[in-house]
Each structure stands twice: as structure tokens, then as C-alpha cells.
Structure 1
Amino acid sequence: MAPHPLSSAQQQSVEQLLETMTLSEKIGQMTQPEKNSVKPGDVTRLSLGSVLSGGGGNPDPNTPQSWREMVGAFHEEAQQSRLGIPLLYGVDAVHGHNNVVGATVFPHNIGLGATRDADLVRRIGRATALEVAATDVRWDFAPAVSVPQDVRWGRTYEGYSQDTGVVSELAAALIEGFRGDGWATPTSVLPSVKHFIADAATTWGTSRRADRSTLATDRTLAIAQMGQSFVELLDLGAWQIDQGNSEIDEATLRAVHLPPYQAAIEAGALNVMVSYSSWQGLKMHAQHYLLTEVLKGELGFAGFVVSDWEAIDQIHPGDYDRCVVDAINAGLDMVMVPFDYERFIASLGRAVQSGQVSESRIDDAVRRILTAKVALGLFEHPRTDPALLNLVGCAEHRTLAREAVQKSLVLLKNVGDVLPLDPAGPELLVAGEAADDLGAQCGGWTISWMGGHGPVTPGTTLLEGLQAAGGQVHFSPDGVVDRDYPVGVVVLAEAPYAEGMGDRSDLSLSADQVALLERVRARCTRLVVVLLSGRPLIITEQLPQWDALVAAWLPGTEGQGVADVLYGERPFTGKLSFDWPHSHADLPRRPEATLLFPLGAGLTTDADSIRFPGLQDNAKV
């Protein structure tokens, strides 16, 4: 249990401020709308406590300076309210300040989990905090401390590992990086530890998020920009497990999914975001036992609890007032109401006046929110130094991201030591559109909610990294060539996705990908496959045809980090942070499952060249 974040004098100042606040001002502090919905003057008029940018909630033009100007305008409005309570602006900077064009985009968490390097993650947290703070933002909806149990889940890549201990260690390190020299320093950024709890243990087929009959009127899903229609994605498995029901018992919940939250609190976390999912049939946003008795009581969490995007609406669909009452009474302190913030304010006001929500519950919520704001030093320094803008996407941060990429790669097969490649060797064939696709390399949560293809932000693709290394490289996006090559490198990628839009019932390679592999295999003596993905894919049938396999995950903007390791400038050191299933029959994860590669697998190419025991047999090569 962490000590209280405030001194006795600071706690007294919070109580004094609370005594001066009207009920309307308190409810305003509990309200968090999305920036595109906020009408001019409403931050002042309603004493709104927070504003957020949703995934892709960017200014136009999307530049660091425009971000700072946009966020700063909300801060200035908050200062004009009766009490001048500073605003907390929140963003989803889940792998760097990833909504900002030009920011450094680090590998997604699944790649960082493969590094097992807490110091690296701590340094990434510090760099991310500096870039976030540069845009006048002091709240980041990260880290996800999920412990994924079924890689068909579209948020698998947001989890560091299926190993609770790895998740706990790396999440605490990221929080320490966000904090820097102390929460009250002007470059600290408040982490939002998410999504409480067992969001990664839901059962396939239990999600009720996407209703085919209401897709045309769903304002949230309308924001998503995908290459396929919603109906096509639903047929592929979208929204089958994300936001579903976790049917595990309490002992499993406590042993597997609770420890990362305890580690985060001990590291100083002052905010927790609640999961859309349910536990044993009850929506997490209505779980008084888990939110109030366990999180705030047993774990001694002194910070505040925030809802996810429009999530309280799911408690009792069609009865909004009842949703508000149950969520606040369960322990929600701030509610993310992206579109209809005045409806929430009015509903909660009625609930207090009717006695359905006590004033003491309101005071507890606002006390927790003010505690975080005081701890962050926002009352003394509500704005950050504009000189920080020079750090957004700076060379030092990109070098750090390149290091993270190098350490995240997992070598799972290397017959005849085809890797590392020789940059002075014969011409290398590189095939697959993904080799030169920065968007595919970054994945979801990059500039837009779902991510995209192509040059979505400044960075270096894997192909550009290979070319810059000095070797002879022939690139064929479709793998059609008119001569043979000693070595071919095929880069395969999942299409970018986020959240339930990435749930998939079938994790096999596509027919086009298999055809590409066959074309290149026929033209190469040896074949290396680099897989860009947010999870293990089912590759058992194709693997025997490959001489080498590299799991590169979603490495972000610094693709030369992949090239560094392929060419032997840096060794392969990454280890799987997830079991790699042999077939779809082995999902979800369970002890008796057959594995293609086990958790911890990974070959090395350093001087000692340690191979994982039994790996060749497991891989059937």
C-alpha cells in the first residue's frame, strides 16, 4: 500500500476547497467530455474537471504546436471559472504520444514485454511524458496492465505479457518514468492504469458491444476508419470477446489480474480506469465490491477512478439515470461522457437531490480528483513550458525507440544461421508491401484510433532501414521477380486495428500472404519471414518452408531497429511474452494446449548463442 500522496497541509487545502464548492461545481469536476463535443465557454460555465481527446481527436493541422494551442485554450477556460480549479486534459498516448504527427512512436506493449527490460520501459515512460507534457497534456490513459488469456482479443498487443509478474514489473517501471523526479514536477504525467479488472480474461462470444441493427447510428463506431465494412469485420470476429464477460472465479481474478494494480499503486499511481467488461455477469462499472471494497479499501488506492468512453451507458441500456446512479455508487469518481456531458450533469444532480446518490459519495469522488490535481502541482503550475516542444520526436527519443525495437525482436527459427544477414553479401530480395508500410509497422492507436496504412507520421520503414544499412536490396511488393536470389526476406503484417475491431476468430495467414510466400520461396535459396503483428498468429502449416522467423510485433516509427538486428549490428535477445499456439484448437490459453513456441522462447545471435531448450522440437523444424 502506497503512502498518501499529499502532505497533511495539502490534504487540509483540499478539504477547504471542497467546502467552498457548490454541488454543481463538484459534479462538473466529475465530468469528462471529448474535446470535439465541448461548446465554447462550457469549461468555465460548468467547472468541468477534465477534457479528453479520443483516439484521433486531433487538431487541424495535426502538429505539436497546434496540440499545445488547443489544449492550452481549455486550460485558460478552466482558469476563468469561479474557483479556477485547473483542468486535467487526457489522451491515449499508449506507445508514445501516438496521436501527434511527428511524435516518437515506440513499440506496442507486446513488444516491450519481449524485452523483459524494466529500465528500458522506465526510460520510455520518461520520454513519453516529456512529449505529452510538451503539448500541455498531463494525463495519459496508459499503461494497460491486462494479462491477455486469448490472443484472438483485439487488444492483445496492449498487454505486456500473459505472465502476471512481467506485467507488474513493466507497468510499475512505466509509471516511474511518467512520474520522473516527482508528481509535482511540471513534466510529470498522470498515468491511468487500465482496465480494471480482468478485461483480458473475457470469454469468446460474450461481447455485446456491436449490434448490427444499430451500426448506422453508433456514434463511437462511426469514428473508426477501417479498410473493411463493419459487417465484414463482424463476420471475421470483431466484437466477439472485447468488452465481454469474464467467467473466472475470484481466486483467479486475484492471483492473475489484481497484482499489476497493486504494483501500480505502490509505484504511485493516482488514477485507475474501469473496464467495459463484466465479471460473472455484472458490468465492471457497477461492481461496488471490486471498485470500492477491493481497489479503494483493500489496496488503499487514494487516487480517483475514471470510467471508459461512454461505458456507464452499458450498465442498463435505455435507462441512463439508473446507469449514473449505479456507476457513481459503485465507486466511479469521474465519468467519461464524450458526447452528452450536460445529460450526465443533470442526471447526477437529480440523483443527489432525490437521495439516490449521497452527498458524501460526491465529496469522496471530488476529494480524490482534487488530490490528484494537487499532487501533480497543477494549482501552482497549470501550464507547461513551451520549450518542451523541441523534444517531440527528437533524435534522442527516436534513438531510444530504435533501442526498444532492437530488444523486442524475437528470433523463433534460424536454420543454418541464415540470420544475421551479411550487408556485404549478394543482393537481398525483400518482398511484401508491409516492408515499406509505416502504418502497418505502427499498428492501431497511431494518429487515428484504428491506425492506418502508409506514411501516417514521420518515421523509417523496415525497407528504408535495410537500404540505409548499405546492403544491396531489391524490393518487390508482390514478390514477383525474374531471377533467383540467395536469400529472400518476406515481411507480413496484420492490418491495423484497435479494441474489439481487431477481435478475430481466425488468426491464420491470408490467402494472399500464403501466395506471396510461395512466390518468394520459389525464387530464394533461403527464406526469412518477418512478422509484424499484435499477437501470435497461426503459422504451423507454413513454418516448415521458412528458414528463419522473426516476430517483430508492432515496432513503431523506428523500423531501422529491425534492420539493425537482421544485419547483426545488434543481437537477437527478445523472448516471447506469450505462448504461441499450435492451432486454433489451442485457444484460449490453457495448460493442456499444444504450443508451437512456449512463453520465454527465443533464439539469440550473440557470442554465446543460447537456444531455447526443446525449441526445435516444439517448432517441428
Structure 2
Amino acid sequence: MFRKYLLIVVVFSGILSCENPDSRLMEASFLTRPTPKIEALLAKMTLEEKVGQMAQVTLDVITKGESVYVSNEPLELDITLVKEAILDHKVGSILNTANNRARTPEQWNAIVSEIQDIAVNQSRLGIPVIYGIDAIHGTTYTAGATFVPQQIGLAATWNRDLVRRGAEITAYETRASGIPWNFSPVLDLGRDPRFPRMWETFGEDTYLASEMGKQMIKGYEGQKNDVSKPTKVASTLKHFLGYSVPYTGKDRTPAHISEMELRERHLPTFQAAVEAGAHSVMINSGIINGIPVHANREIITNLLKGELGFKGVVVTDWKDIDNLHFRDKVAATRKEAVKMAINAGIDMSMIPYDYDFCTYLVELVKEGEVSMERIDDAVRRILTLKDELGLFEQPVTSLADYPNFGSKDFELAAYDVASEAITLLKNDGILPLRKGSKILVTGPNAHSMRTLNGGWSYSWQGEKVEEFAGSYHTILEAIQSQAGASNVEFVEGVAYNHEGKYWEDEVKDLDAVIAAAKRADYVVLCLGENSYTEKPGDLHDLSLSANQLNLAKAAASAGKPVILVLNEGRPRLISSIEHQMQGVLQTYLPGNYGGDALAAVLFGEVNPSGKLPYTYPMFGNTLVTYDHKPSEEQNKMEGMYDYESDFAVQYPFGFGLSYTEFDYSDMEFSRGSIDPDETLSISVSVTNVGNVEGKEVVQLYISDLFASVTPDVKRLRGFEKISLKPGETTRVSFEISARDVAFVARDLSWTVEAGEYEVNIGELKSRFSITESKTFNQVKKIL
């Protein structure tokens, strides 16, 4: 949006399949046919009332203030404007906060209660409003809520249970705020580090993102998707489809994606989430192959609602119907833009500032340009969502029923997630640090809660974090707490210019940093990014700023060990300084407990176990993902010249060190070959051969050695996170089918071909074969 995450057996269920979607989806309760109550209500509604249900305005529109863009503080609803929205224009949904800032849970309950009182008690049919918010790493716009790491950090845990637990906390505290609808999770893939919303994704891999997405939906909605429960919210899958890979790397710019790529990489995360029972979908704000997705019937209706069998609500992103006219130039008027989007399959429009959408859509229906069947389909979906949420029975929850809001249990869970996300990328024997050591802490990210949280934290761009997060520990404060304030010296060196752009920083005193470094035993250098998201986060250079790089060189010049702590939403280039660092830790955007978690890792209280959910690039022209094609590594091929085009990455996908070591041995297959309808069990022994207890992510990769379409060098097909004491061994097993190694062929069918496949777990490799080829489904071309 544009204002405002032992024996172990892994059973694959064909999540990448698009075959017979309805047969696998009908168990989710919200996909049953609408109740007689909904059908009776729909039959009573006028055209204007139906169209109003399809409209969503932002909170600023109905508050007292100088304009629809600015509200008074303290915030107060303007009852006349609320009635205009709900009684005159029949608006069925409100979203967002006002003045782009967080509110207390008490304020939220009061706001939503006033809105619902008018909707339920004063409108002709008494239909409750559905309120939506972007609660993407905690209840974003509620003061005092529990913030877990952003999605890229969640992915770095490679821990399904922690991801689900974080979502459960978010759902609880969002409902405690009186809000039942959450615009999360992001299921776009973070395959381009230039993209400003990469940190909102689960990283570059389809399988990892699919698994984490399913867990987040379970956390938000519950195992059976019964969102009428007062601790659950309706989730929203975003941004359907292919939003995160624009050609330029900049937000909301055109993407060029083949249909094979779209189906094999970008569709499976959404397919898995639809199968997991998600209640709503938000559409990609961008353009794919020249067609804005908000106007693309093939993607919204034919693919999402038809092929995938999605029966929930499809909502636009912020002002995106208007963008068809003003930005994308495919609609000559705003009215034509409404016609295009609704006929493409949009159910609800995030307007967000005026009611022209309602006027235009009523006219379009009366003129025969939009059918009443299309309107009824959209409204039926919206009313069913409201019914599933229990809003007809209880339009707003009561804060008094949520005693665990901001509780210690929730705080400890957030701390655990942040701890397991932190990824140790380099350690020249310097970590963990010795207690009693003299430590210099320096860098623009050292003493900032804003940088720990990132965007969508108390405000859209995260610039208001310091107003709300003063009770939590920055990295500096957490290190002082661990090491003792007298052992820690702080010299900022470089500071962000908060009066300018988010990326602007300025040098303070590098000579002071060098002098302090000489007095210290260790230097903890905290570099990265200030908070940002969406268009404001676009950048022209992926390298860290020149000022930060110069600070790193200055700190290293003192001759003391330097531990580089990265606090960033995307992997900024560090190749010019990495060789001068004795340790490197990636914290991502760990939330309010990130400072405490980092300090615990630095001093060995927590053994780091995070693994990269993306490939960390070395140079600006080596932005390659781990699942690349063999031609990216031509210099490795026998008989090829060395063109200096090697696969140069700083750190590979799935990489992360520990304070202990793990040994892999005895990989076994249940059989040497399988036919397309059989499964194969793969097992391996993992031993902790170090001196401390640690957690390891066992990662299963499979390579299709030869195929009719150039195969990827390898693909992640399974993972499990285990914990082992020193000397302990466990057996880890995976079970795969031929379907799990299928690819999208030229005819767009999911296909497995006879031949050899190589399995890689740790340093172990072995092969099995598939005896014959098989096509699993047939689909229609959509692009």
C-alpha cells in the first residue's frame, strides 16, 4: 500500500501444483457457498448499497481536520463525515490510520466502535464495516504492540514454528485494537536486492517463501481458518502477481516476465497460500508485459479466481484504479479505469480519498458496461468475508478481553524470533566476545530504534519510531547492558540526516572514531540503512554510502578487530570493506528486541542459527540468485575460457555460521529410482561436533541434471531446523515425489522428465533417477 513478515519427516504435498484446485480447497470454511443470510441480504440491497460495499476509504477522510489528507490531533471522528461515507455513499470498508501515525489500543477501539455504531445501527440494512490495516511485523499502527522482525528476518530463522507464533501474536493484538482484517503476508519473491520492498518478502526462493507464507496464514487465521474467533484476523496475500521483479528494480515500474517464469517462480507462493485458506488477495500495483495487473482479467479472474479457485475478496492496492488513468495511461478517464478494473475481477477498491468510484460504478452498471452479475459476485465475496469474521454478531472487539496485549510472553517470543534470525556471515575466531572487554560501538545504526524496525513501524516510512519505542534497547544500549556501561564507548562517526532523504548521512568525526578504536579491544561497527519502503526506498546505487564505507575503513585502520553489524532491509554491497572485517553479522530488520538479541549473540548467550534467505551479492553487476541457470557459471565448464565472469557472490543463499560445527554423514535413499507416481525417502545423519549446543538448518537441494528446458543448477526442496547438544546425532528424513521436482515446460504444464537427479545435503551428494516422464496438468496461457 502507498501510505500508511530425533526424527524429522518432511512430507511434500505438491504445493507447486495448479491441478484441480477446487478439490483441494473446499475444506476451508470460507469457501463454502454463502449462507442463506448472505443471499437474503444481497437480494434486499440496492445497486448503490452494493457498490458502496465495494468501496474503501482511508481514515483521514472521516476525521476532523483541515482536509481529507490531514486530521486534527488529538484525533476525533467527524460524525457528519462518517455518516456521509456510510449512510450516503454506503461505504463498506475503512482502512489505515490517520496522519500516518500509531494510535493506542484504547483509541483504536473507540474509533472502530463509533464507526460500527453508525454502520450497524443507523444504516438501512445494518451491515457492519470491515476495517483493514497493514500489520506486517506486529500490529504496525498500535502503540505498545509487540513487533517481531520484518518478513525477511522471519525467513532467515528458517523456523516454521517461530513464524507462525509471530503471526499469532500479531493477530491477537490486531483484534485487541478492534481491527479484523490484516493486509499481510507479502508473498512476492525477494529476487532483486535493488527492490525497495525486498525486506517485506520471505526472500528469493519459491519453496522457502511458500512454507513461511503458509505458517503466517495459520498464525493469522488459525489451523481451520475460523476467523470468527476473537484472536484471529483475515489475512491478505499480496501482491498478486510478479510485483517484486520490475525491470529497473524500482517500485511500481514495469516488469517483463515470461509465463513459464511467472508460473514456476511467482505463482506457487500464492497457490500454496490459497490452499492454506487465506481470505483475501491484494493485486500487484505494477505492470507485467505492458498490461497493468489491476486491468488484467486473465490474471485476476482467469488465473486467480478460476484456475486457483480463489473464492475470497480481491482488493486493490492504494489508489490503483485511478493509476490506470493517471499513471499507466490505459484508461482515457477515471470512469473507464473503474470499468476496466471491475471487469478484470476487482471486488473492492482502495479509493482512498473520494467517492467518485461509487458514482462511476453505478453509472457503468446502469449503462450496461459492468454487469450486475459481476457486482453481485464482488459483494457476495465481501459480505461472506464479513460474515466469516463474525462482524454481524460482534462488529468490534473489546480491549478488556485481551489481557495479553503487550505481555512478557509476547515480548519473549519476539526476542526469540529476532535471536534466531540473526545470521553470522564471517567469524575469524573473534566471536563470541569476551566479557570485560573494552568495546567501541560506532556507526549510524548503533543507537537507533528506527533502523532496527524499518518501515511500516508506527508510521508508513518508520520515521516516527523514536516517538513510540523509547522503552526498548538500541544496539548500543543492549551492548552496554551486557558488557557494562563503563566498558563501552560510543562514537557515532556517521549519522543519518533525518531532515533529508532516508539515505542521506553525514560524517561526524572519523578521527575520533580512530582514536576510540585504539583504546578498545573490539570495534562493533553498525552500518546499513535508515527506514524506508515503496517508492521512497528506490535507490540508484546498491553499495553502502561512501560515508559508511569510509567509516569502516577508518575503524579498521586502528588495527583492532572489527565486527561489522549489518542492519538493513536489503543486502547492500560491502565487498570493498568485507576483507577488513574480522566478523560480520546480519540482523536484517529485527524489530524492537533486535538490539537485545544481537548483544546476546555477540557475547555467546545465544548461538546464532540464522541462514540467508537470499544471495548476498558481491558487486552491482552480479545480482544472481542461487537457482540460476548453468550459463551463469560458464567459466566453471570444462573447456571454457575464463572470461572473468565467475559467479561472484559475497555469501550464498542458505549460508550462516554457528559457534559450533555440524557434520553430515550417511545419506541414504529408500530406493535408487522412482516412477512418477512414487515417493522417495532421503535421510541423513547430523552431528554436533563442537563444544556448545546449537541449531542447524538441514537444507535439501535437488538438481535436474538434464531437461528439455534448461534446468536451474539446483532448487531447495526441503528444510528442517534442528537443535543438537555437543556430541549429539540425529537422523533427518525427507520424503519427496516426482511431482516435487517438476518444472514448467514450454507448453506451460508442470512436467517431470525421465533421467538423473542429484541430491545435495550439506557437503553430501548422491543421485537417483526417475524412470519415465509425466505431465501433471494442462493450463491455459494467461500472458
- Report 1:251-330 matches (<5 A): 251-317=260-326, 319-330=333-344
The equivalent residue for 1:196 is 240
Q: Distance in 1 between matches of 2:426 and 2:580?
A: 11
Q: Distance in 2 between matches of 1:510 and 1:582?
A: 15
- Check if 1:382 corresponds to 2:382: no
Q: Distance in 1 between matches of 2:475 and 2:145?
A: 18
Q: Distance in 2 between matches of 1:170 and 1:55?
A: 31
Q: Distance in 2 between matches of 1:156 and 1:110?
A: 8
The equivalent residue for 2:507 is none
- Check if 1:128 corresponds to 2:170: yes
Q: Output the amino acid matched with 2:618.
A: H
Equivalent position SS for 2:115: helix
Q: Distance in 1 between matches of 2:106 and 2:586?
A: 36
Residues 397 and 367 (structure 1), Cα distance of their counterparts in 2 relative to 1, 3 Å cut: same
- Check if 1:514 corresponds to 2:568: no
Contact 1:147 1:200 in 2 (8 A): yes
Contact 2:528 2:572 in 1 (8 A): no
Q: Distance in 2 between matches of 1:244 and 1:368?
A: 30
Which of the numbers 433, 436, 443 marks the counterpart of 1:432? Answer: 443
Contact 2:112 2:396 in 1 (8 A): no
The equivalent residue for 2:46 is 22
Which of the numbers 105, 108, 112 marks the counterpart of 2:154? Answer: 112
The equivalent residue for 1:175 is 217
Contact 1:439 1:456 in 2 (8 A): no
Select the structure that is richer in strand: 2
Equivalent position SS for 2:281: strand
Which of the numbers 619, 644, 652 marks the counterpart of 1:598? Answer: 652
Which of the numbers 492, 498, 501 marks the counterpart of 2:536? Answer: 501
The equivalent residue for 2:498 is none
Equivalent position SS for 1:435: coil
Q: Distance in 2 between matches of 1:430 and 1:273?
A: 42
Q: Output the amino acid matched with 1:299.
A: L
Equivalent position SS for 2:561: strand
Structure 1 gaps, min length 5:
205-239, 616-621
In terms of mean alpha carbon deviation, does 114-123 or 425-434 score higher?
425-434
The equivalent residue for 1:2 is 25
Q: Output the amino acid matched with 2:404.
A: L
Report which structure shows greater RCO (CA 8 Å, sep ≥6). Answer: 1
Q: Output the amino acid matched with 1:557.
A: N
Contact 1:186 1:381 in 2 (8 A): no
Q: Output the amino acid matched with 2:343.
A: N
The TM-score, its normalising length taken from structure 2, stands at 0.71
Q: Distance in 1 between matches of 2:238 and 2:596?
A: 31
Q: Give % identity.
A: 37
- Check if 1:333 corresponds to 2:347: yes
- Report 1:404-419 matches (<5 A): 404-415=417-428, 417-419=429-431
The TM-score, its normalising length taken from structure 1, stands at 0.89
User: Which deviations, in whole Å up to 9, do the C-alpha atoms of 1:190-246 show, x marking residues without a partner?
Assistant: 111100000012211xxxxxxxxxxxxxxxxxxxxxxxxxxxxxxxxxxx6211222
Equivalent position SS for 1:126: helix
Q: Output the amino acid matched with 2:25.
A: A
Q: Output the amino acid matched with 2:46.
A: T
Q: Once the 2 structures are TM-superposed, how far is the Cα of residue 7 of structure 1 from its aligned partner?
A: 8.5
User: Which deviations, in whole Å up to 9, do the C-alpha atoms of 1:363-409 show, x marking residues without a partner?
Assistant: 00001111111111111121113224543322221111111110001
Q: Once the 2 structures are TM-superposed, how far is the Cα of residue 267 of structure 1 from its aligned partner?
A: 1.3
- Check if 1:249 corresponds to 2:258: yes
Q: Distance in 1 between matches of 2:609 and 2:514?
A: 33
Contact 2:189 2:201 in 1 (8 A): yes
Which of the numbers 543, 546, 558 marks the counterpart of 2:581? Answer: 546
- Check if 1:579 corresponds to 2:621: no
Q: Output the amino acid matched with 1:166.
A: L
The equivalent residue for 1:13 is 37
Structure 2 gaps, min length 5:
1-23, 63-80, 327-331, 494-512, 633-646, 662-687, 691-695, 700-759, 763-783
User: Which deviations, in whole Å up to 9, do the C-alpha atoms of 1:393-440 show, x marking residues without a partner?
Assistant: 22221111111110001111101x211112x23221111231110011
Which of the numbers 464, 469, 473 marks the counterpart of 2:482? Answer: 469
Q: Once the 2 structures are TM-superposed, how far is the Cα of residue 76 of structure 1 from its aligned partner?
A: 1.6
Q: Distance in 2 between matches of 1:526 and 1:291?
A: 54
Equivalent position SS for 1:392: coil
Q: Once the 2 structures are TM-superposed, how far is the Cα of residue 518 of structure 1 from its aligned partner?
A: 2.5
Equivalent position SS for 2:29: coil
Select the structure that is richer in helix: 1
Q: Output the amino acid matched with 1:199.
A: Y
Contact 1:48 1:78 in 2 (8 A): no
User: Which deviations, in whole Å up to 9, do the C-alpha atoms of 1:250-293 show, x marking residues without a partner?
Assistant: 11101111111111111111100001111111000011011111
Q: Distance in 2 between matches of 1:496 and 1:414?
A: 27
In terms of mean alpha carbon deviation, does 329-338 or 507-516 score higher?
507-516
Which of the numbers 32, 36, 40 marks the counterpart of 2:60? Answer: 36
Residues 253 and 7 (structure 1), Cα distance of their counterparts in 2 relative to 1, 3 Å cut: closer
The equivalent residue for 2:733 is none
User: Which deviations, in whole Å up to 9, do the C-alpha atoms of 1:460-518 show, x marking residues without a partner?
Assistant: 21112112224432222123544432211011120211112112221112122122212
Contact 2:82 2:115 in 1 (8 A): no
The equivalent residue for 1:223 is none
Residues 453 and 526 (structure 1), Cα distance of their counterparts in 2 relative to 1, 3 Å cut: farther
The equivalent residue for 2:454 is 443
Q: Distance in 1 between matches of 2:252 and 2:51?
A: 27
Q: Distance in 1 between matches of 2:300 and 2:658?
A: 43
Equivalent position SS for 1:606: coil
Q: Distance in 2 between matches of 1:393 and 1:153?
A: 32
Contact 1:430 1:475 in 2 (8 A): yes
Residues 170 and 599 (structure 1), Cα distance of their counterparts in 2 relative to 1, 3 Å cut: same
Residues 118 and 55 (structure 1), Cα distance of their counterparts in 2 relative to 1, 3 Å cut: farther
Q: Deviating runs (4+, > 6 A) in structure 1?
A: 610-613
Residues 295 and 54 (structure 1), Cα distance of their counterparts in 2 relative to 1, 3 Å cut: farther
Q: Output the amino acid matched with 1:434.
A: N
Residues 183 and 454 (structure 1), Cα distance of their counterparts in 2 relative to 1, 3 Å cut: closer
RMSD between superposed Cα atoms in Å: 2.2
Q: Output the amino acid matched with 1:2.
A: L
Residues 9 and 242 (structure 1), Cα distance of their counterparts in 2 relative to 1, 3 Å cut: closer
Q: Distance in 2 between matches of 1:55 and 1:165?
A: 37
- Report 1:66-85 matches (<5 A): 66-79=107-120, 80-85=122-127
Contact 1:487 1:524 in 2 (8 A): no
Q: Distance in 2 between matches of 1:455 and 1:34?
A: 25
Q: Output the amino acid matched with 1:49.
A: G
- Report 1:186-225 matches (<5 A): 186-204=230-248
- Check if 1:139 corresponds to 2:163: no
Contact 2:189 2:203 in 1 (8 A): yes
- Check if 1:564 corresponds to 2:600: yes
Q: Once the 2 structures are TM-superposed, how far is the Cα of residue 40 of structure 1 from its aligned partner?
A: 2.7
Q: Once the 2 structures are TM-superposed, how far is the Cα of residue 334 of structure 1 from its aligned partner?
A: 0.3
